[in-house]
Amino acid sequence: MIESIDTSLIDWSRAQFALTAMYHWVFVPLTLGLAMIMGIMETLYYKTGDEFWKKTAMFWMKLFGINFAVGVATGIILEFEFGTNWSNYSWFVGDIFGAPLAIEGILAFFMEATFVAVMFFGWNKVGKGFHLASTWLTGLGATISAWWILVANAWMQYPVGMAFNPDTVRNEMVDFWAIATSPVAVNKFFHSILSGWVLGAAFVVGVGCWFLLKGREKRFALASIKIAAVFGLVAAVCSAWTGDSSGHDIAKVQPMKLAAVEGLYEGTEGAGLVAAGVLNPQKEAYDDGADPFLFRVEVPKLLSFLAKRDLNAFVPGIKDIIEGGYALPDGTPALSAEEKIHRGKTAIAALSAYRSAKKAGNDAEAATAYGALMENVAYFGYGYIKDPHDLVPNVPLNFYAFRIMVMLGAYFILFFAVLLFFVCKKELASMKWVHWIALLTIPLAYVAGQAGWIVAECGRQPWAIQDMLPVGAAVSRLQTGSVQTTFFIFLGLFTVMLVAEIGIMLREIRKGPQ
């Protein structure tokens, strides 16, 4: 099936989707973070009646609105690409994957669209309580929207709640709640939302410090910084906690991803977590014998604890996962990649035999083929893998992206804690070096979010759906040139949108609270 597909088509389709997703995630986290902060500020206005808080809330709402509008455009294009660039994927699992996206569009997005109008245009036209409710419901709608999108993404990482139907050649949903509430979905939601809150807090702190540098709007700046720093510190600490839970989930359902982010080629008991290290560029394959590191600093036994909650537990490496033989949690030996590929090809052949027998009306042969298919269907996707080496993700990309994310996560906890210390001592207004650090922290929050998504998506490769459908079998049969053309169109369009958004937001920031 995939032998006839140009590999450059796969690469360009992946590049186009990655481009759209990364641009979209520039806008989404700020929407999530500002929604909470402006809600807190309007709540203070509702409680105190102080017009200062109304003006403060309105200023951050204005920036929220600019960012929200641009983010919607990239999100719509992203969803369309499932049909245009990944039609085989949409056919194979559309009954499952489409459900959370449909709920997101019908429920959450309409909720946002309804209340965002009241939030922006309802000042002095509706009661204070109703307007406050509209502000919080707008933020809640954005959060619910993220929930369903992340449920869909989590299902790609950990496919549950479905059964394969050989008559339609599709996976069909059998348990909606298993999909909606899987542990991977829950952890992914909280970790992603919290990272958005951290970014929103860093943005508000940075803008507030800009006003302090300019000697303007001191009360507004200090009040915004104080709220954002408290909010950001709580979010950053909770993000570290959910990150630990996510790591534990990955160890259970995506051991290859865990091995890739740790540069772990040989499994071991009591595995240490690499705190810092440089990978050996001469290491080109899992079985070439080269040392994977030029140097590394490990925290003893921490990886075993992260993965299995046992300091002495065995953590399989890339070579172990490919060659198999190690004990799984249920005590059975892990299959090798070669065996999985063989069983996948058996499943594909059995599906073809089943459909031919059904068409010919031969029920006995159909039953035999059906039995062989169901026995091997869990490895169906492996039948499209040509070489076990293809099952290994890009180790350097995942290793370094993970460490960037973790180090920046620790930095944000320290940053917000130190900031609060200076706020409480009433020294922040005159500390220009802190103001500059706060401004430079804004792009670091974006980098951390992008690094996290690189690990989430690139660590899953070569799978579009983990262990079920490789990207080579998921792609649409398009002309490579058409994908290249739209890639550069989207690159230009999204860049123009981003530059326009930054320009508009900078203009509104310079105006200050009205």
pLDDT band at 6 (very low <50, low <70, confident <90, very high): low
Per-residue pLDDT at 287: 83
Please give the model's pTM, rounded to 2 decimal places. Answer: 0.91
Q: Return the percentage of the chain with pLDDT > 90, whole number.
A: 69
Cβ-based neighbours of 150, under 8 Å, separated by 6 or more: 185, 188, 189, 192
Per-residue pLDDT at 2: 43
What residues does each domain of the chain span?
262-323, 337-384
- Tokens for 39, please give them: 């809600």
Per-residue pLDDT at 293: 93
Is residue 425 within 8 Å of residue 353, measured between CB atoms?
no
301, 471, 478, 486 from 460: Cα distances, Å:
25, 10, 24, 25
Query: Does the pLDDT at position 100 exceed 90?
Result: no
Per-residue pLDDT at 122: 86
Interhelix angle 7-48/432-458, rounded to 10 degrees, is 140
Q: Are strands 314-315 and 268-269 parallel, antiparallel or unpaired?
A: antiparallel
DSSP assignment string, 387-442: -GGGGS--HHHHHHHHHHHHHHHHHHHHHHHHHHHHHHTT-GGG-HHHHHHHHHHH
Per-residue pLDDT at 3: 47
The predicted-structure confidence for 396-429, as pLDDT tens digits, reads as follows: 999 999 999 999 999 999 999 999 999 988 888 8
Per-residue pLDDT at 514: 76
The predicted-structure confidence for 208-244, as pLDDT tens digits, reads as follows: 999 999 998 999 999 999 999 999 999 999 999 999 9
Per-residue pLDDT at 5: 57
Q: What is the dihedral of CA 442, 447, 452, 454, to 10 degrees?
A: 150
Query: Does the pLDDT at position 4 exceed 70?
Result: no
Per-residue pLDDT at 197: 96
The predicted-structure confidence for 368-379, as pLDDT tens digits, reads as follows: 999 999 999 999
Q: In angstroms, rounded to a whole number, what is the distance separating the alpha carbons of residues 258 and 264? A: 8
The predicted-structure confidence for 19-71, as pLDDT tens digits, reads as follows: 999 999 999 999 999 999 999 999 999 999 999 999 999 999 999 999 988 88
Helix ranges restricted to H, 309-394:
318-323, 337-360, 363-376
Instruction: Tell me which DSSP letter residue 5 carries.
Output: S
DSSP, collapsed to helix, strand or coil, labels residue 26 as helix
The predicted-structure confidence for 336-348, as pLDDT tens digits, reads as follows: 999 999 999 999 9
Per-residue pLDDT at 413: 96
Per-residue pLDDT at 1: 42
